[in-house]
Structure formats: C-alpha cells, structure tokens
Amino acid sequence: MNHFDYHDDALNCEQVSLTELADTVGTPLYVYSSATLERHYNVFADALSSKPGLRSPRDEAPLVAYAMKANSNMGVLATLAAQGCGADTVSEGEIRKALKAGVPANRIVFSGVGKTDAEMAFALKDGIYQLNVESRPELERLARVAAELNMVAPFVIRINPGVGAGGHEKITTGGAKDKFGISAEEALSLYAGAAGHPNLAPMGIACHIGSQILDLKPLQEAFTRMRGWVEQLRANGLSVERLDLGGGLGVPYFNQKEPATIADYADMTALAVGNLGVRYTFEPGRLIAANAGVLISRVIHVHEREDSGQQFLVLDAAMNDLLRPALYDAFHDIRPVARPGNETAKYDVVGPICETGDTFTRGRDMPVMKAGDLVAFMSAGAYGAVMGSEYNSRPLAPEVLVRDADWSIVRPRPSYDEMMAREPIPAWFTPAPKVKTA
C-alpha cells in the first residue's frame, strides 16, 4: 500500500493533493503520511511479536522503541505513541518530547555515547525503561548519579560486536574502531562488577551495528554473537533479563537492491536469538519514518550553461533542508508532483546555497521540468527535517502531517522576524547599532 501516489494528475499524500499543500503552505515543505507511519510500526511490531521465541517469559511482546532521531516531530511521535510505540532517545530533549507526545516512560530507552549527569538524573527521575550504557566512565557516572538520587538505575551495556554495516561509512556503528559501545570482554567484566552495586541494576546487553543495512547477514552475525554473550553472562552466574538489538534495517530508496523484508528480518532474529528467556527491544528509526515523508520543492528556474550544456534544475530547497545527499552522497528519488509526460532530460538538481555540495544529484534523467513546477523528494521522512538548519539564513522548512483527507501544520515555517528575534542584538547597541563611518 503506497500512500504517496498520483491521483487526478498530481501526486497525493493519502487523499491530500501535494500541489494544493504546496500552494497553501509554501515550499519547501515536508509532508508526512500518518497511515504510512502507522503501517510501518504495526507491520514491524506484529512481525516480531508473532514469533513465540521473541516474547518474554511473561509473554510480553518485544518493545519497539522508535529511534526518534530519525524524525522527532511531535505530530509524528504522537501518531506512533497512539499505536503503542516506544521511543529510543539520545538526549534529554528527546526524552522530554517523547513523554509529551504520550510515550509512557516505561517504553523509553536512552542511548548515546555522551549522556551528561543532568540527563541521566532526568531519565532516572522520570522512570524510563533503561539506559543503554556505552562505556566504563559512563557506568561509573551513572552509579554516582543514581546514588545521589538514592535510586537504582536499570541499564544494559551496549556491546560493539565488531560487525560493522550500513549504507555509508558515516552511518556504520558496529565496527571495532567506531565510537559506539565497548568490547564484549570489557562489557562482561563491567556487568559483573555492577551486579552487586546497590544503585545499579544490570538488566542485559544491547547492540546497534549501523544504519541502512540491506542484507541480513551482518545483523545475523551480530545477533548470534549477542546470544553467545548472554549465555556467557549466565554461565558466570549473572542474571540477564533483557536484550536490545538496535535498529538499522534499511529501506528502499529506489536506486539500490531491495532491502531484506521485515518478515525475513523477524525470521532471522527468531532463529539467531530467539528463546533466550529475555524481553527483547528493537530500535527502528528509518524503517518507520523514511518512506512516510516527502520534501516538496518548487523549481526556481532551469539554467542551461552555454559552455558545458549542463542543465541545472535550481530548486527552492537546499542542503539546509535535506542534508543527506551532501553528507553521504545519498540518493533520493525526485518525482514531479504533476503527473509527468514521456519527455525526459538530464538535470543537475541543485539548491540556492553557496556551496558546491548543495547538489542533490548530477546528470539525472528526469521528466522535463520548467520554472514553477513542483518536485517531491521521496523517502525523506527519516533524517530529513531533523537534520535541517538555517544555513544561509534560510528559515526551517515547515512540516505537515496528513491523515486521510485532513492535514495539519505540525511545524510552521518561522517568519523572518521570528528568526531574527532569536538573535537579540546586544543592548549596548540600542537604540540602533552604531556603524563606523571612517
């Protein structure tokens, strides 16, 4: 079921015309489909909870903690929270947003290599499900923070299983030299050390080996190693109640081979790590949000260079709105919002920012476009708006959430006055900045 499709000669999101949205809200703008978010969460959660081997000893379904770094818009979070989804967070800001959007504290996990004391204290006081500890100094600080609060901190240790994978070297996290997690050997010794501590409750282990993983092989390898470490901990007389397997399963961006299916992922997981008598956690981000969102942009003009003959499609969206192509050479399918004809041309698609890197794609065959036409960057719901900035003093693109034939602005575009009001000119310049004339 695709919730972004052509109806009446224009691309729609559910039953809302993207042309009408662009005309009403202005471009560039992000548009998300509630139905797609819900479907992705439910397909994933159901595939895992239907495996008896992945249910806990108390018959609980796995905790699906959406990695909200992928898209932390409150409307998106509230949509997922209403379905029973949890949240994987990496900052106090994310925990606060998750709670406010309706995610219960006992469905929130807190990951990240550099949690501050204040963030740990906030998480503990709010009673979140667990902290995913990533290093020895972090565990030492957690013990101190919990002691100061007179609390017991439930935590898992993130093991770096030495299996790196992912769509780009900058989004690989499980390799032995990446900053994430610690070696199994160190994790096992820390775990044992924490077992008798009055303020620490070691609950289990975690891993997350990378993002945009298309093949199940590296995941299977990592999960199999995780099973071994659970067994080893138990053989050492330690209790292991939880296993967090991270996120990372890739999505189709329509330029690579298809990723493994959710059904195959669930089968593989049940085989590799099922029946361990633990409560499982999964942290999918991209899988839930990527294909639930598009970035709509308008063609400012088409510039044909006389010397090279290159055709530049100059858009009103730029790398500040969608950074992935500039940062990771990421591919996004770019479709005309009006149903395209058969004629095509080769375009370099660029934004107005003063950087050569502000190039979405080069020499791409696309339907012929002209000034004023609208394009949709597909699969932009994850790591899109959240990675936006105001570089070149461009206001953040607004975000719209669609449900059936209804839509709502879930983040308005700031006005120029609002943008400037956030940067007050020092009082010593009032009433007006003195300008040196000589």
Ligand X SMILES: Cc1ncc(COP(=O)(O)O)c(C=O)c1O
Ligand Y SMILES: N[C@@H](CCCC[NH3+])C(=O)O
383 is known to lie in a ligand binding site = yes
From residue 161 to residue 200, the character string flagging contacts with ligand Y as x (rule: CB under 6 A) and all else as - is ----------x-----------------------------
CA distance 108 to 94: 10
Cβ nearer to ligand Y, comparing 172 with 311: 172
Q: Tell me which residues in 53-82 interact with ligand X (CB under 6 A).
A: 67, 70
Residue 52 burial (CB < 10 Å; 0-12/13-18/19+)?
Answer: exposed
Query: Is 13 one of the annotated active-site residues of the chain?
Result: no
- Please give the C-alpha separations between residue 83 and each of 45, 77, 297, 342, in angstroms, as whole numbers: 10, 10, 31, 41
Instruction: State yes or no: residue 202 binds ligand X (CB under 6 A).
Output: no
The one of ligand Y, ligand X, none whose footprint includes residue 88, by CB under 5 to 8 A per kind, is: ligand X
- Per the CB < 8 A criterion, the answer to whether 243 and 276 are in contact is yes
355 is known to lie in a ligand binding site = yes
CA distance 438 to 433: 15
202 is known to lie in a ligand binding site = no
Q: Across-strand partners of 334?
A: 377
The one of ligand Y, ligand X, none whose footprint includes residue 318, by CB under 5 to 8 A per kind, is: none
Residue 229 burial (CB < 10 Å; 0-12/13-18/19+)?
Answer: buried
Query: Quick one: tokens of 105?
Result: 């504290």
299 closest CA partner among 364, 365, 352, 375: 375
Instruction: State yes or no: residue 88 binds ligand X (CB under 6 A).
Output: yes
Cβ nearer to ligand Y, comparing 171 with 296: 171
Considering the candidates 13, 85, 207, 354, report the single residue annotated as catalytic: 354
The minimum distance between CB 324 and ligand Y, in angstroms, equals 5
Instruction: Please pick, from the candidates 383, 396, 403, 410, the single residue that binds ligand Y as defined by CB under 6 A.
Output: 383
CA distance 397 to 27: 8
Q: What is the full DSSP assignment across 169-237?
A: GGGB--STTSSSSB-HHHHHHHHHHHHT-TTEEEEEEE---BSSB--SHHHHHHHHHHHHHHHHHHHTT
244 closest CA partner among 121, 133, 125: 133
248 is known to lie in a ligand binding site = yes
Q: How many chain residues touch ligand Y (CB under 6 A)? A: 7
Instruction: State yes or no: residue 324 binds ligand Y (CB under 6 A).
Output: yes
From residue 144 to residue 183, the character string flagging contacts with ligand X as x (rule: CB under 6 A) and all else as - is -----------------------------x----------
Sign of the alpha-carbon dihedral angle for 93, 98, 99, 104? negative
Instruction: Please pick, from the candidates 75, 161, 248, 398, the single residue that binds ligand X as defined by CB under 6 A.
Output: 248
Q: Which residues neighbour 293 within 8 Å (Cβ) at sequence distance 6 or greater?
A: 30, 31, 32, 33, 71, 379, 380, 381, 382, 384, 385
Cβ nearer to ligand Y, comparing 67 with 366: 67
CA distance 47 to 212: 19
3-class DSSP state of 360: strand
The minimum distance between CB 43 and ligand Y, in angstroms, equals 21
Cβ nearer to ligand X, comparing 109 with 296: 109
Instruction: State yes or no: residue 208 binds ligand X (CB under 6 A).
Output: yes
Q: Tell me which residues in 89-118 interact with ligand X (CB under 6 A).
A: 111
R_g over Cα of the chain = 24
From residue 270 to residue 289, the character string flagging contacts with ligand X as x (rule: CB under 6 A) and all else as - is -------------xxxxx--
Q: Tell me which residues in 43-82 interact with ligand Y (CB under 6 A).
A: 69
Contact residues for ligand Y, defined by CB under 6 A: 69, 171, 211-212, 324, 328, 383
Residues annotated as catalytic (active site), given as ranges: 354
Q: Which residues bind ligand X (CB under 6 A)?
A: 67, 70, 88, 111, 173, 208, 211, 246-248, 283-287
- Residues contributing to the annotated binding site for pyridoxal 5'-phosphate: 248, 283-286, 383
